[in-house]
Amino acid sequence: MQIRVHVPSQTLELLNEAGTLFKRFPISTSKFGLGCEPGSQKTPTGRLRVESKWGADAPLGEIFVARVATGRIGHAEDQADHVQTRILWLEGLDPENANTHSRYIYIHGTNGERLLGTPASHGCVRMSNLDVAELFNLVEPGTPVLITETHEA
């Protein structure tokens, strides 16, 4: 499997081993745009990989702080911007995005599901809680990720 994030369409595509589309999900990338600068809260672009997976046994909506389950469930009306349900921690493979892991850039669930399809995050790739749980079960650490500003791979 491989993951391809298309920023213009705010979609994440999961491709099978043959490179054929297996599943497409609505997502949100950063409301601050694209980039790799530390502290920028921008979504990195380029070649990455899933470095680690967190939250395998968490219930849908479980809030994580520093990748630790809190025992609380997030809700859409919460004012906070939660990391929920599952975490795929990304690692950059290009010189430009090599700091992705130290910037704590994840693919994760959100309490802001109503904003999916529009840039709304603080650098991470947000998904619905159901979708991130499904994706989590379909990929492993080492899965390639491409975040692109175009619709081409």
Q: What are the C-alpha distances in Å from 68 to residues 72, 79, 84, 107?
A: 11, 20, 10, 15
State the pTM of this model.
0.93
Range of the domain at 7: 2-148
Tell me the average pLDDT across 125-130.
Answer: 98
Q: 139 pLDDT band (50/70/90 cuts)? A: very high
Statement: residue 153 has pLDDT above 70: no
Count other C-beta atoms under 10 Å from residue 119's C-beta: 17
Statement: residue 152 has pLDDT above 60: no
Domain count, the chain: 1
Q: 14 pLDDT band (50/70/90 cuts)? A: very high
CA distance 125 to 109: 9
Average pLDDT value over all residues in the chain? 95
pLDDT above 90 as % of the chain:
91
Does 7 map to a domain? yes
Does 153 map to a domain? no
pLDDT of residue 151: 61
How do residues 27-85 score in pLDDT, each as one tens digit? 999 999 999 999 999 999 999 999 999 999 999 999 999 998 999 998 888 888 899 99
CATH for 120: 2.40.440.10
pLDDT of residue 19: 92
